Amino acid sequence: MPRPPKCRRIEGAPKVSYFKPRGVPLRELTEVYLSFEGLEAIRLADREGLTMEEAAARMHVSRHTFGRILAEARAGVAEALVEGRALRIEGGTYTLARGEDTPAQPEPAEEVFMSKIAVTSEGPALTDRVDPRFGRAAGFVVVDLDTAATTWIDNGSSQALAHGAGIQAAQLIARAGAGVLLTGFVGPKAFTALAAAGVKVGQNVENVTVAEAVELYKAGRISFADGPNR
């Protein structure tokens, strides 16, 4: 059974949440998402020069978890720089410190903030049906519950894979900064990848539209899984 994700403590919201290549219109850019905790990991390791143990303690996570968060964050930033993509910093699952003198104690669970949920979908609209497949889904509608804004993530590259589609799809969800996934079926390897990224999984969501799935989640009618469907 995968362990529940640890609280990721960050010491402040970013001063700037969006970066783009100069002179390139937004409509021509692909976005790379960096979560708030990913930015915090980069700040602690690369800006403040803390050791892995020191930085992990500051974020209230294990050294292994911090290393994974840092590696994923660096990979996202590298992708944006090398490929000339826009970098959007938002979302994730974290607790916000009350100040620099906050004791190193985990925050209450109810303060964990999940600003985004991802829903497997047959199309980019809220009126499209939920795609019951995860790894082979047509794509994902990412919904920001604070602003009601939606983003479509095409999953065509994962569909073309003979193996590892679920793992690649899990990476797309993590990069989008979603803390919750609503879908039908998730296999063992994909579930492990999602759990490692701190994404909660609501399974067996079928025969509804994306909008209806979001309303079920908001109403507390989605049960989170502690393992794959099978």
pLDDT tens figures, 30-65: 888 898 889 999 999 999 999 999 999 999 888 888
DSSP string, the chain: -PPPPPP-EESS--S--EE--TT--GGG--EEEE-HHHHHHHIIIIIS---HHHHHHHHTS-HHHHHHHHHHHHHHHHHHHHHT-EEEE---EEEE-S-TT--S-PPPGGG-EE-EEEEEESSSSTTSBBPSBSTT-SEEEEEETTT--EEEEE-HHHHT-SS-HHHHHHHHHHHTT-SEEE-SB--HHHHHHHHHTT-EEE----SSBHHHHHHHHHTT--PBPSS---
pLDDT at 190 over 80: yes
Stretch 184-193: mean pLDDT:
89
Nearest 5°: the CA angle 24, 29, 33 is 125
pLDDT of residue 98: 56
**What pLDDT score was predicted for residue 214?**
92
Residue 206 clears pLDDT 50, i.e. is over it: yes
Closest CA to 197 of 173, 228, 223: 173
Choose between 162 and 8: higher pLDDT: 8
Amino acid at 204: N
Mean local confidence (pLDDT), 100-104? 40
Region 198-226: mean pLDDT is: 89
**Size of the chain in residues:** 230
* pLDDT (mean) for 64-92: 89
* Mean residue pLDDT across the chain: 83
Q: What pLDDT, on a 0 to 100 scale, did the predictor assign at position 113?
A: 42
Domains and CATH numbers, the chain: 9-111 (no CATH), 115-218 (3.30.420.130)
Please state, in angstroms and rounded to a whole number, the distance separating the CA atoms of residues 73 and 95: 18
Tell whether the model's pLDDT for residue 220 goes beyond 90: no
How confident is the model at residue 159, as a pLDDT?
62
**Which pLDDT tens digit goes with each residue over 108-150?**
333 344 568 999 999 999 999 999 989 889 999 999 887 889 9
Rounded to an integer, what distance in angstroms lies between the CA atom of residue 121 and that of residue 25?
Answer: 28
What's the pLDDT band for 2 if we cut at 50, 70, 90? very low
| pLDDT at residue 3 is higher than 50 | no
Are 183 and 130 contacting, i.e. CB atoms less than 8 angstroms apart? yes
Query: Is pLDDT of 198 > 60?
Result: yes
The closest of 62, 75, 89, 86 to 7, measured between CA atoms, is: 62
Summarize the confidence of residues 199-205 as an average pLDDT: 90
Residue 165 banded pLDDT, cuts 50, 70, 90: confident
Note the pLDDT of residue 17.
Answer: 85
- Model confidence at 153: pLDDT above 90: yes
Residue 161 has pLDDT above 80, yes or no: no
Say how far apart CA 211 and CA 143 lie, in whole Å: 10
pTM of the entire structure?
0.53
